[in-house]
Amino acid sequence: MDLKIYYRIERIERSVGDILSRIITSLPYIPKVLISTGLYMIKIYKGRKGKLLGYTLYALIGVGAAVLGLFLLSGIHGLLSPNNENIHYMGSPDGYQAFVPHDTINHDGHTDPKGDLILDNGNVLHNTIWHGKYSDTIINNHNQIDKLNKDFVGKIDPVNNQRYVPLHDFYVIKGQVPIKQITIDGQTYYLIDANKINEANIAGFYTYKEWINNFIAAINTPGTYAAVLPGNSPVFKWTNTTGTVAYQTKIYQQYGSVAGGDVVVLPNETIIPYGININISGASFNKYYLPNPVYNSSS
């Protein structure tokens, strides 16, 4: 054989070998072992027999790869790969997202909370279902806040003489949220797979329902911090919604698994009063659950 032709063949073989090596590395364990074993067997044989066996194996690998590709594209692989659930991760890895429950829905033999997902960029994903860990706790917490609203909203705050307003619970996730699109009775929903979220990165809060978006925007704003209101804080006497909500969160803590009397302070000194849910209190939120600074207002 002409040396130039021989070297060209050798180059082709090395290129094919390099490509195969990359393909084999990316394969699942069992196919990888089988193919690696086959390639090892080729090295035992020399001469034409080895070459023939090698080219035959390459052809079989090529056919197998093509079949595998069609198999994967067909979607049938989902039957064999239960972990491949078409999960998409929403939000920034460093941001805070919030699930806001409104009602419940029956899904997969279980009653789950349904509501909205507020992303750290301000976008809102409606028809969102919270499924998995804390599902029942969120429903109970929401029912508790709803009951307290029915008992107090419209009544007079004895400190600032303003009427109590509706408060609403919400659940903040630090980092990205695993979402899967599903269909129930012809309606599209977005399922939060809470079992894929670290418990340390989930925490429950409540505040005036019209301020939830503002609260999420605030904790995603650099320079925002949490502070506690002292018992004699003049904020409780403010004759506006801020004063009312600040005191109202303290009232609600007397009746269930919630606590109040804290505020987030934005860089422009705007404050948003809030309360916490003690049943869902991930360690990543300690600065909001156990704020050290005391908020002092001059008026």
Mean pLDDT of the region 195-216: 98
Q: What is the pLDDT of residue 3?
A: 37
pLDDT at residue 103 is higher than 70:
yes
Decide if 279 is inside a domain.
Answer: yes
Q: Please give the residue range of the domain that contains residue 234.
A: 88-289
pLDDT band at residue 48 under the 50/70/90 scheme: low
Q: Return the minimum-mean-pLDDT range out of 49-58, 76-85, 208-217.
A: 76-85
Residues 238 and 102 in one domain: yes
Q: Does residue 132 fall inside a structural domain?
A: yes
**Which position has the higher pLDDT, 290 or 22?**
290
| pLDDT tier at 108, thresholds 50, 70, 90 | confident
What is the reported pLDDT for 85?
64
Q: Are residues 38 and 92 in the same domain?
A: no
Confidence of residue 117 (pLDDT cuts 50, 70, 90): very high
Q: Are residues 121 and 179 in the same domain?
A: yes
Tell me what pLDDT residue 17 has. 47
Region label for 283, one of left (φ > 0), alpha (ψ between -120 and 50) or beta (otherwise): alpha
Pairwise pLDDT comparison (295 vs 75), residue with the higher score: 295
Q: Is residue 299 part of a domain?
A: no
Same domain, 70 and 161: no
Q: Give helix then strand counts, H and E, for the chain.
A: 7, 11
| pLDDT higher than 90, residue 213 | yes
In a domain, 58, yes or no: yes
Mean pLDDT of 162-177: 98
95-117 burial, b at 16+ Cβ within 10 Å, e below that, comes to bbbbbbbeebbebeeeebbbbbb
Structurally, how many domains does the chain consist of? 2
pLDDT tens digits for 137-153?
A: 999 999 999 999 999 99
Using an 8 Å Cβ cutoff, are 175 and 98 in contact? no
Residue 31 has pLDDT above 80, yes or no: no
Is residue 286 over pLDDT 70? yes
Higher-pLDDT residue of 48 and 218 is 218
Q: Is 166 domain-assigned?
A: yes
42 and 161 inside one domain? no
35 shares a domain with 140:
no
DSSP letters along 227-240, please? EEPPTT-GGGG-SS
Residue 73 and residue 94 share a domain = no
DSSP SS3 for 94: coil
Question: What pLDDT digit, counting tens, does each position of 65-102 carry?
Answer: 444 444 444 333 333 333 346 899 999 999 999 999 99
**In the structure, what pLDDT confidence band is assigned to residue 296 with cuts at 50, 70 and 90?**
confident
Residues 279 and 152 in one domain: yes
Task: Tell me if the pTM is above 0.85.
Answer: no
Do 60 and 137 fall into the same domain?
A: no
Q: pLDDT band at 256, cuts 50/70/90?
A: confident
Give the pLDDT score at 171. 98
Tell me the pLDDT band of 298, cut-offs 50, 70 and 90.
Answer: low
Identify the three-state secondary structure at position 5: helix
Is 110:133 a contact under the CB 8 Å cutoff? no
Domain end call among 59, 79, 99: 79
